[in-house]
Structure 1
Amino acid sequence: MTKLRYSRFLLSGHIFLILSVIWALATADVPAGQRSGCPAKCGDVDIPFPYGVGKECALHDGFNLNCTTVEGVEMPLAGHIQVIKISLANSTATLNTTAISWKCYHPATGTMNSEKGWLNLTNTPYWISEVDNTVIVIGCNTLAYMRSSAYVIGCFSTCEGTALENNTCSGAGCCQADVPKGIQYYEGYFNGNYNNTKNSQDISCSYITVMEKAAFNFKTSYVKSTVFYDTYKGKVPIVLNWQIAESACMDAKNTSSYACVSNHSACVDSTTHKPGYHCKCSDGYEGNPYLAGGCQDIDECQRLVNPCGDGICKNTLGNYSCSCYPGNYMTNGICVPIQKTPSRFQAMPVVGASVGLVVLVIAVACACLIQERRKLRNMKLAYFRQHGGTILFEEMRSQQGADAFKIFSEEELQQATNRFSEKQVIGRGGHGTVYKGLLKSNVEVAVKRCMTIDEQHKKEFGKEMLILAQINHRNVVKLLGCCLEVEVPMLVYEFVPNGTLFDLIHGNHGWRISLATRLGIAHDSAEALSYLHSGASTPILHGDVKSSNILLDDNHKAKVSDFGASILAPTDESQFVTLVQGTCGYLDPEYMQTCQLTDKSDVYSFGVVLLELLTCKKPFNLDALGQEKSLSMMFMSAMKENRLEVILDDGIKDEDNMEILEEIAELAKHCLEMSGENRPSMKEVAEKLDRLRKMMHHTWLQQNPEEMESLLEEPSAMAHSTIVSDQYFSIEKKAVTNLQSGR
């Protein structure tokens, strides 16, 4: 336990990591190449360029290492963090970090000690590898989660009901969760409502950390003692991906700092949330693509296994060729002896045997092909049944109006999206990737490939799809169909062309968004959520309401989308969500404490969207200080101190608008109440926004009767007006007539 007390000091090493790996490419345009006289190793670790010991040896500050002797052992450090391994082929670096969050209960003293671990790689060329790492939670009755700037991911481990087993981390004493893609920052948290202190007679500890999958092997002793911390000596290995610069290959090739300097090297675009690139040697070559002449030809013929079998192997640049020794000839890549020509009578049995062999080979090949096709067909049928496809199909036939919903084949969606080409990607999120597609009927669609699906959703998927297919509301993105013959079902939605509300607000387009447009978008979105909560045949909780899940059509009419975190409203209080999901900045604090999603959770998230519309600020700002990190906390503080005008967007601050703005702000305040019972329903929110919109238009008519009259005389001008909405055209026309007649 003494070692645990030093973890606070070790944790400070992350601060030095951030200070030492600041990415300085914005101010440095240094031509790539090896620096002479630079050490190639530090201790047992190879230091290949672009890494280097000292600034003069590294490509830039992001790859600058210190070679230091610690307790008699020479090791490379990034800041104060030990570097274990660097891989050029995979563009990864493995580090020993102290980012372990822990809490331990001591029954002898009745005290609970704890420490929070975190890692910040923001503004560096690194991010956490989602392939090589995993989120680990250890403990009894422990709910913990990893929070980043965009995700909250966690799981629940328990020691009740299931025996703990070594090498098994599936919920009993230990659970795991996948690391999202492109994460550069995370903190480990425990939910205080879950702990093992009451019944524990011995020291008991809980942990959460992100570490390399291959380095972790669960032991039952980790739960009841400090063994986990002691085993890893307070440091766990984590694999980081890296890239050379924040430029795509197409742009980087035109700069003097382009790093792929070796012949036979290739530039590879990064697949994270932002552009970047790294280098690799071309096929048939190996070595260092960041050095002139660093990629060397692979001599395949000198490998332990001759690629030509018993033949003669000849190496060529980037490849090899095979030939046979005299007296042999090559068939199907194999050298066989040349047989002497037999007589006519001798040849007949040989010819017959050859023909028979050919027929046998063809028959076996056809049988294998048929078997493989049958296996594929059976596998697709199994997935179809597993996801409730049979029930869904029967219900579609029996229910009126269900024929609008279609069950697509995998081949149909592959053709529509050009085999799920990266060029067709229009969005990525925590639940999957969305592709733009064109069906054979020339209908544009959005195809969503989900990442994972839990066992409960697999059983209920068919029924839930039928319910979602019956949603018919102008402000909800229409679900057109699904594909069930794959391991994780794919969803097909109508295509909405004008991007997201997040892009409109934060995209820096330089376009002024009128208050009328913002109020219209808010009302449309509220109407959609109200419909989901109380107007649908089965109430639906969205679960991830945010501005990036509100799509806009060409007329800026809002449509709520992305039901990846949605659930059907619970029918009894026993239903419980063990995996906390959502987006940081929008999450209902009551949901984070109880893990029970309610309709009031959507109300809270919608309140944050209202704040975005009022302030044009993002819901969570990692670079800000204190409560200014959270838009909702900053807003509640401003309302309490009567400083609303300070945080409002300058584009809508106007004396004529202040009454409307104050009403919207008051509505947002009610939506953000800490207790869900004190928040309004989405139906009440939609009705309030509708009244405010009508009041705003009525005020505009009274102040501008002459301009309104001219607009009414020119319908084409009205169609493009950002001040007056089309759907109120008839109401406003009647109001002008009343004004002109003196009524």
Structure 2
Amino acid sequence: MKQGRSWLLLCGHVFLCLSAISALATPDVPAGQRPGCPANCGDVDIPFPFGIGERCALHSGFKLNCTITNGTTKALNGNIEVTKISVPKSKIWMKTTMSRQCYFPATRSMNYSDAWVNFTNTPFSISEVDNKIVVIGCNALAYMTSASYVIGCYSTCKDATLENGKCSGAGCCQADVPKDIQYYKAYFNENYNTTKIWKNNPCNYMALMEKAAFSFNTSYVESTVFGETYNKGLVPLVANWKIRPWSCEVARKNMSSYACVSSHSECVDSTTNVPGYHCKCSKGYKGNPYIRAGCQDVDECLENANPCGHGICENTPGNYSCSCHPGNHMTDGFCVPIQKSPHFPAAPVVGASVGLVVFVIAVAGACLMQERRKLQKIKQNYFRQHGGLILFEEMKSKQGGAFKIFSEEELQQATNRFSDQQVVGHGGHGTVYKGLLKGGVEVAVKRCTAITEQHKKEFGKEMLILSQINHRNVVKLLGCCLEVEVPMLVYEFVPNGTLFHLIHGNRHGRRRISLASRLGIAYESADALAYLHSSTSTPILHGDVKSSNILLDGDYMAKVSDFGASILAPNDESQFVTIVQGTCGYLDPEYMQTCQLTEKSDVYSFGVVLLELLTGKKPLNLNAPDDEKSLLMVFMSAVMENKLEEILDDQIKGENNVEFLEGVVELAKHCLEMCGQNRPTMKEVADKLDRLRKVVQHPWEQQNSGEDQSLLGVPSSLASSTIVSDEYFSIKKNAIKNLQSGR
């Protein structure tokens, strides 16, 4: 009996040991092979790092649920259906909702259904390569917003011929998806609807969806068939995924969490501005790099047609080698029979060989010259299209102007062939590279992503106007390159980054910015915008005023930059822009309704910049509660409840500057009026900031400051005293009130 019990105890210990060994081995087993971890959900394969349930996934971001709804098995990430996962491409296919705007005759009203997706704090981001923003309808203006962008388009059937498969504004329009977005929400402009055309065109649609899955059909604008075609309002969306928001260098420092565990696997850094990494199998291997031994050698000799032609192919780890059968030799990668040399007289053979070489060189030279002529002709066509001849003639007439037309080769040399190491910034309109011209001049070269046909025709004329801008607080446009498909712009290089990074960068160890410095930067920026609005030969509207478009030079003097969104003030209504673009948080609400950019749109955006300078907060904070997402709403609420001090930047509290702050607050409120007509001009804004900064920059207690003291009517004897009486503060307060009222 005792022997039986001993045997049972021994078996129990063995079982426990085997269980422990199994538990230790589990992390190295792909999800589909782990106990209880299925390799698929319905028709969808679930490769690791994804898994059904948290135990089966690499981490919670890759956890999926497998559910059965109405007899159909679906894989879900949160509440979004997953239809396909690709490990080699690091992509995932999902089904998301579309937005609708339909007229209901029964209620005689428009009905709206808005779509949104939020991948914030997940491994996913929306693929700008695989998706498009699509708007369908006969009177539809729709757009999507994200943390940094507002972009959309206008679709109409009026005076237009609709064609199946064509989506260029007639019944259907589309726009590119911005890079690096994890969140979007779709909106319709309610001024454009189907109230008057509902009998023939009941609905408008807007979807951010996979472009390969969409082809326009004219029936989409005549009924509700578009919503029914895509599985009751669900459209396919392609998202990229990353393992962690770390670079490969950072990820390798913690091998316990490093995901590229297979031998013959490589770590790949994200190509976007948002850090992150994923894994891939090395060249010559395929499989899953996220599991041990997941990358297997590719047998090139069996997988493809014999890469050695008629030769002998031998597979090697990660590659292959070729050899020839006896009687053959390798020539240019092919096996050819060995030819016995006939006995010909040497001189004719040598002569024929030399002649052949000369002939080949001549033909190659002629082909090279032909290609060069062809390339030169293409460059000349681009030069003419972009108004280069007009610009060149104007430059000749002015003689000695600083504006220059650069060649493509010059800018390639300056930027090391547009190397990624030279990138200093990305924007909605292009990428900016740091360059070094011959002579050691540092420049910023902007490569724009696209240009409209209308803009091509007007580009030369606009360059003439922009080249004449001469203001110390506007980034100088030094020249342009016109011999490429999309022109490149060359600006002076400004070294100290942007106002956005000065205010928001490195919150715990950031540089202290006094109120005087903030007012100085605000005044310089306002003065530059006032100059653009009223002192140039043709008024210039910036169109994208924000703290990241205000650069700081070596002395931290402000320089307004990025005219990628700028337009020359239109002469008639037909010239107004009808595609909404800009930066969320700074956009003029009046512009969002009318799509008409005015000088007062820049004033509104500048008002938001003033709020940033006052509070040190960003215009939008999507992670905050709903009533705190918008800095404007937080500011207005604090003003109404007399709690302004609670939201002011700690760096400017307690500087005995309450009166000055009140002046800036009133100015910001005036700039942020909902009605553009009630806002001041940029000239008025600059004048008021100038008066405020002069007082703040020259302390009252300093001697020899008679000019500043006389500005407020205070006796110099009082100002120079080390002990200032209550009478002094009374005079100071009254003077500031006069200053704020403009007297």
TM-score normalised according to structure 2 size = 0.88
SS at match of 2:54: coil
User: Which residue is 2:321 aligned to?
Assistant: 321
Gaps of 5+ in 1: 1-29, 713-726
Provide closer, same or farther for how the CA distance between residues 737 and 128 of structure 1 changes in structure 2, counting only shifts above 3 A.
Answer: same
Residues 386-424 of structure 1, C-alpha deviations (whole Å, 9 max, x = no match)? 11111111111112552x111111221122112212121
Moved more, 347-356 or 300-309: 347-356
User: Which residue is 1:263 aligned to?
Assistant: 263
CA RMSD of aligned residues (A): 2.6
Residues 235-267 of structure 1, C-alpha deviations (whole Å, 9 max, x = no match)? 111000010011111111111211111111111
User: Which residue is 2:738 aligned to?
Assistant: none
8 Å Cα contact 2:702-2:719 kept in structure 1: no
SS at match of 2:556: coil
8 Å Cα contact 2:139-2:204 kept in structure 1: no
User: Which residue is 1:123 aligned to?
Assistant: 121
User: Which residue is 2:421 aligned to?
Assistant: 423
1:737 CA displacement: 9.8
For 2:154, the aligned partner's letter is F
User: Which residue is 1:145 aligned to?
Assistant: 143
Provide closer, same or farther for how the CA distance between residues 136 and 438 of structure 1 changes in structure 2, counting only shifts above 3 A.
Answer: same
1:43 CA displacement: 2.3
1:148 CA displacement: 0.7
Provide closer, same or farther for how the CA distance between residues 730 and 428 of structure 1 changes in structure 2, counting only shifts above 3 A.
Answer: farther
Provide closer, same or farther for how the CA distance between residues 33 and 652 of structure 1 changes in structure 2, counting only shifts above 3 A.
Answer: farther
1:218 CA displacement: 0.7
Given candidates 442, 446, 456, the residue that maps to 1:448 is 446
SS at match of 2:574: coil
1:77 CA displacement: 1.7
User: Which residue is 1:163 aligned to?
Assistant: 161
Given candidates 435, 438, 447, the residue that maps to 1:437 is 435
1:731 CA displacement: 11
Given candidates 30, 35, 41, the residue that maps to 1:34 is 30
User: Which residue is 1:71 aligned to?
Assistant: 70
Residues 298-331 of structure 1, C-alpha deviations (whole Å, 9 max, x = no match)? 1111134221222222222222222222222221
Mapping 1:672-687, distance limit 5 Å: 672-687=672-687
**2-side partners of 1:252 and 1:74: how far apart?**
36
1:738 CA displacement: 10
User: Which residue is 2:190 aligned to?
Assistant: 192
Residues 178-236 of structure 1, C-alpha deviations (whole Å, 9 max, x = no match)? 00001111111000111232133245110111000100011111111111110011211
**2-side partners of 1:737 and 1:649: how far apart?**
34
For 1:549, the aligned partner's letter is N
1:646 CA displacement: 2.7
Moved more, 77-86 or 660-669: 77-86
User: Which residue is 1:542 aligned to?
Assistant: 542
**2-side partners of 1:400 and 1:648: how far apart?**
51
For 1:180, the aligned partner's letter is P
For 2:248, the aligned partner's letter is C
Moved more, 517-526 or 481-490: 481-490
1:109 CA displacement: 5.3
1:650 CA displacement: 2.4
Size of the aligned set, in residue pairs, is: 689
Provide closer, same or farther for how the CA distance between residues 467 and 62 of structure 1 changes in structure 2, counting only shifts above 3 A.
Answer: same
**1-side partners of 2:121 and 2:68: how far apart?**
28
For 1:152, the aligned partner's letter is V
Provide closer, same or farther for how the CA distance between residues 32 and 380 of structure 1 changes in structure 2, counting only shifts above 3 A.
Answer: farther
**2-side partners of 1:341 and 1:730: how far apart?**
106
**2-side partners of 1:384 and 1:730: how far apart?**
57
Mapping 1:590-605, distance limit 5 Å: 590-605=590-605
1:46 CA displacement: 1.9
User: Which residue is 1:46 aligned to?
Assistant: 45
**2-side partners of 1:354 and 1:40: how far apart?**
64
For 1:621, the aligned partner's letter is N
For 2:43, the aligned partner's letter is D
Q: Which has the larger radius of gyration?
A: 2
Residues 154-173 of structure 1, C-alpha deviations (whole Å, 9 max, x = no match)? 00010011111111111000
Provide closer, same or farther for how the CA distance between residues 527 and 439 of structure 1 changes in structure 2, counting only shifts above 3 A.
Answer: same
SS at match of 2:575: coil
SS at match of 1:638: helix
User: Which residue is 2:459 aligned to?
Assistant: 461
For 2:239, the aligned partner's letter is L
User: Which residue is 1:579 aligned to?
Assistant: 579
1:728 CA displacement: 9.1
8 Å Cα contact 2:179-2:272 kept in structure 1: yes
Residues 41-69 of structure 1, C-alpha deviations (whole Å, 9 max, x = no match)? 22222211111112111100111112233
For 2:94, the aligned partner's letter is L
User: Which residue is 1:414 aligned to?
Assistant: 412
1:296 CA displacement: 1.4
Moved more, 546-555 or 66-75: 66-75
User: Which residue is 1:174 aligned to?
Assistant: 172
User: Which residue is 2:247 aligned to?
Assistant: 248
Provide closer, same or farther for how the CA distance between residues 71 and 741 of structure 1 changes in structure 2, counting only shifts above 3 A.
Answer: closer
8 Å Cα contact 1:32-1:259 kept in structure 2: no
1:652 CA displacement: 1.3
Given candidates 98, 103, 106, the residue that maps to 1:105 is 103
8 Å Cα contact 1:33-1:261 kept in structure 2: no
State yes or no: 1:274 paired with 2:274.
yes
Provide closer, same or farther for how the CA distance between residues 499 and 429 of structure 1 changes in structure 2, counting only shifts above 3 A.
Answer: same
Provide closer, same or farther for how the CA distance between residues 204 and 500 of structure 1 changes in structure 2, counting only shifts above 3 A.
Answer: same
1:531 CA displacement: 0.6
Gaps of 5+ in 2: 1-25, 723-743
SS at match of 2:56: coil
SS at match of 1:651: helix
User: Which residue is 1:22 aligned to?
Assistant: none
8 Å Cα contact 1:106-1:203 kept in structure 2: no
**1-side partners of 2:598 and 2:561: how far apart?**
18
For 2:384, the aligned partner's letter is R
**2-side partners of 1:630 and 1:596: how far apart?**
23
State yes or no: 1:369 paired with 2:365.
no
8 Å Cα contact 1:496-1:551 kept in structure 2: yes
User: Which residue is 1:296 aligned to?
Assistant: 296
8 Å Cα contact 1:32-1:290 kept in structure 2: no
User: Which residue is 1:232 aligned to?
Assistant: 230
**1-side partners of 2:560 and 2:27: how far apart?**
48
**1-side partners of 2:447 and 2:289: how far apart?**
35
For 1:372, the aligned partner's letter is E
User: Which residue is 2:16 aligned to?
Assistant: none
Moved more, 104-113 or 243-252: 104-113
1:152 CA displacement: 0.2
Provide closer, same or farther for how the CA distance between residues 32 and 270 of structure 1 changes in structure 2, counting only shifts above 3 A.
Answer: farther
8 Å Cα contact 1:673-1:679 kept in structure 2: yes
Residues 696-735 of structure 1, C-alpha deviations (whole Å, 9 max, x = no match)? 245x22x344xx89xx9xxxxxxxxxxxxxx999999x99
SS at match of 1:593: helix
TM-score normalised according to structure 1 size = 0.88
For 2:454, the aligned partner's letter is Q
**1-side partners of 2:644 and 2:322: how far apart?**
79
8 Å Cα contact 1:105-1:203 kept in structure 2: no
8 Å Cα contact 2:137-2:201 kept in structure 1: no
State yes or no: 1:286 paired with 2:286.
yes
**2-side partners of 1:622 and 1:149: how far apart?**
7
**2-side partners of 1:202 and 1:485: how far apart?**
47
1:675 CA displacement: 1.0
User: Which residue is 2:657 aligned to?
Assistant: 657
**2-side partners of 1:108 and 1:556: how far apart?**
62
Provide closer, same or farther for how the CA distance between residues 224 and 108 of structure 1 changes in structure 2, counting only shifts above 3 A.
Answer: farther
Provide closer, same or farther for how the CA distance between residues 329 and 579 of structure 1 changes in structure 2, counting only shifts above 3 A.
Answer: same
